[in-house]
Amino acid sequence: MLASAVRSSRGYGSLLAAAALSGSAFAALNLDKVAHADAPPAPPKGALNPNEFKAFKLVEKKQLTHNTFLYRFELPDGQTAGLNVASCLVTRAMLKAKPEDEKPKMVVRPYTPTTKPDTKGYMDLVVKVYEKGVMSKHIDSLKVGDTLEMKGPIPKYPYQPNLKKHIGMVAGGTGITPMLQVIDAILDNPDDKTQISLVYANVSEADIILKDKIDALAAAHPGRFKVHYMVDKPSWGGLFWKGGVGFITKDVLAAHLPAAAKDNLVMVCGPPGMMEAVSGNKAPDYSQGEVKGLLKELGFDTTNVYKF
């Protein structure tokens, strides 16, 4: 779990809630510098534009958990989004970021689409709606037919088939979205022999996002994809829960992730507290920064850890 959670009584729920605040600094970030140092070639042409914001129409909304929704946006003329793996996009809107604000201000937040790059005609965003989440509340207020401005893709990790022998993933809450981009890319390619091991942490079973999809992928690819769920508060006292309970620990990661090696990689994405405990957060300039926390204790370093 997260550094404060590992070392204190602070609950995982509050750490996940902190994710809503993590985007606040993003508005000031130069989005052209978000890309990984080894950025991939120019993304394929699609409905998204990496250089300017475009408005996309909401065509469907589906509830996934008590506070997480899938929002489907139309891509005109049957286009693809133009995403590459792995990449995100940014949304923007004129909003009152704080109750005391007299006038709306431009708010910018990043999200990772969960649709595959070759999906035509629509693009899905999975968004957790937080009480203090300015953009997430705005997206949730949209009605079918309303539009949201987006820009992208913003390149992240330049994944290539068979780049590594084994990729481990540690995700918390909506941190699962970039992982699913990579998971889909690997499992959809029969020539990609990369193994995947996912540790996915949430407050409770009911908070696990897209669990049906994850379980279906694991069942369809038993030799290539394994998942270990962790929850802070299992229902019924854990009587029927078969996953892990409590905080992510060094022992949990050692048991479910590949060992530290040049041919292996661990990706991490989640609330700031989780990042700090597992891998260390990114540096203040949004570069990868040094590897800290549990992964450092397990022998990992900057050559085999990537922080989304």
Cis peptide before 110 (omega within 30 of 0): no
Asked if 273 and 15 count as a contact pair (C-beta separation under 8 A), the reply is yes
Q: How remote is the C-alpha of 247 from its chain's centroid?
A: 19
The tokens for 195 are 């193994």
d(CA 188, CA 203): 30
Task: Answer yes or no: is 109 a known binding residue.
Answer: yes
The tokens for 53 are 């914001």
> In which residue are the tokens 């450092």 written?
296
Task: Answer yes or no: is 155 a known binding residue.
Answer: no
Phi-psi region at 293: left, alpha or beta (left = phi > 0; alpha = psi -120 to 50): left
H or E element that contains 274: helix 272-278
Task: Answer yes or no: is 43 a known binding residue.
Answer: no
Task: Answer yes or no: is 110 a known binding residue.
Answer: yes
Task: Answer yes or no: is 129 a known binding residue.
Answer: no
Residue numbers belonging to the annotated binding site: 109-111, 126, 128, 135-136, 177
Residue numbers belonging to the annotated binding site for FAD: 109-111, 126, 128, 135-136, 177
